[in-house]
Amino acid sequence: MAPFIHFDQVTKSFGSLRVVDNLDLRVEKGEFLSLLGPSGSGKTTLLMMLAGFENPSQGSIRLDGTPIENMPSHRRNMGVVFQNYALFPHMTVAENVAFPLLMRGVGKAETVRQVTRALDMVRLGHLKERRPAQLSGGQQQRVALTRALVFEPTVVLMDEPLGALDKQLREHMQLELRDLHRKLGLTVIFVTHDQSEALTMSDRIALFNAGRIEQLDTPEGIYDRPRTRFVAEFIGETN
């Protein structure tokens, strides 16, 4: 059976800089996969190509067997939570969450119904008339997450979504994310440079080094049986 997402010998260069180097990666449906590795190792670039914000220089990316290069972004049906992909400041929480539904042509009444349900699910219903500036960092992140999930995407791409949060909130959000992943049967690709976050959250981890995958394995495999010195040293470091 074809993998759900397949990066088939994908290379991405910016000028003479080869950021993703002839990479082959298969992601299963419903999997929580973390891309872990040092800053600059190509993790974000991989997500950008999957989301359609960048094109591969070589190779192809397939979603459910179909090359995505020519697929318009709404057909990719991916929810995106990037650190720099902030909420719309002039809109209320409810308007922010409604945005992707209205963009997809969902009617007003149905949008209100879905926004209410989604915000209630993450216990943000009481904040729906607020604007982002009136929320805490953690609440803003939960709204961003809700906005990425409200249209029931099959794939959710997250780039350091918990990076700006303090430790306690971060741990709480990690649990919440795992829970949502399970409940909604989502395929999640989650970028982090934090080893312990990747180890606790993932079904599998792809450990990146300079545009290549050094090891692709379960958290136990990465932790107990590092295949290279780089993996052992990266996992052994403390943040």
CB of 88 to ligand ADP, least distance (A): 24
Q: Is 56 in the site for ligand ADP (CB under 6 A)?
A: no
Question: What do you get for the CA distance between the two ends of the chain, in Å?
Answer: 39
Check residue 147 for interaction with ligand ADP (CB under 6 A).
no
| Binding flag, residue 25, ligand ADP (CB under 6 A) | no
Judge contact between 97 and 118, C-beta under 8 A. Answer: yes
The distance of closest approach from Cβ of residue 177 to ligand ADP in the complex, given in angstroms and rounded to an integer, is 19
How many CA atoms within 13 Å lie on the side-chain side of 221? 12
Q: Are 48 and 87 in contact (CB under 8 A)?
A: no
What is the smallest separation between the CB atom of 61 and ligand ADP, expressed in angstroms?
Answer: 15
Identify the residue among 16, 39, 70, 238 touching ligand ADP (CB under 6 A): 39
CB atoms within 10 A of CB 140: 19
Q: Nearer to ligand ADP by C-beta: 125 or 163? A: 163
* Residue with smaller CB distance to ligand ADP, 41 or 215: 41
The CA angle 84-87-91, to the nearest 5 degrees, is 155
Part in contact with ligand ADP (CB under 6 A); list of ranges 37-45, 88-96, 126-134, 169-177:
37-45
Q: What is the distance between the alpha carbons of residues 76 and 58, in angstroms, rounded to a whole number?
A: 20
Does position 43 interact with ligand ADP (CB under 6 A)? The reply is yes
Q: Of the candidates 6, 42, 97, 197, which one interacts with ligand ADP according to CB under 6 A?
A: 42
Site residue total, ligand ADP (CB under 6 A): 10
Both tokens of 221, joined, read 């495999």
* Minimum distance of ligand ADP from residue 205's CB (angstroms): 14
Task: In whole angstroms, give the CA distance from residue 168 to residue 108.
Answer: 37
Contacting range for ligand ADP; rule: CB under 6 A; set: 21-29, 36-44, 98-106, 217-225: 36-44
Task: Give the Å distances, CA to CA, from 20 to 43, 56, 58.
Answer: 8, 9, 10
Nearer to ligand ADP, 41 or 96 (CB): 41
User: Which one, of 50, 38, 55, 4, lies nearest residue 203 by Cα?
Assistant: 4
Among 5, 25, 33, 45, binds ligand ADP (CB under 6 A): 45
Report the alpha-carbon distance of residue 211 to residue 41 in Å, rounded. Answer: 5
* Residue placing its CB nearer to ligand ADP in the complex, 43 or 181: 43
Residues that bind ligand ADP (CB under 6 A): 14, 19, 37, 39-45
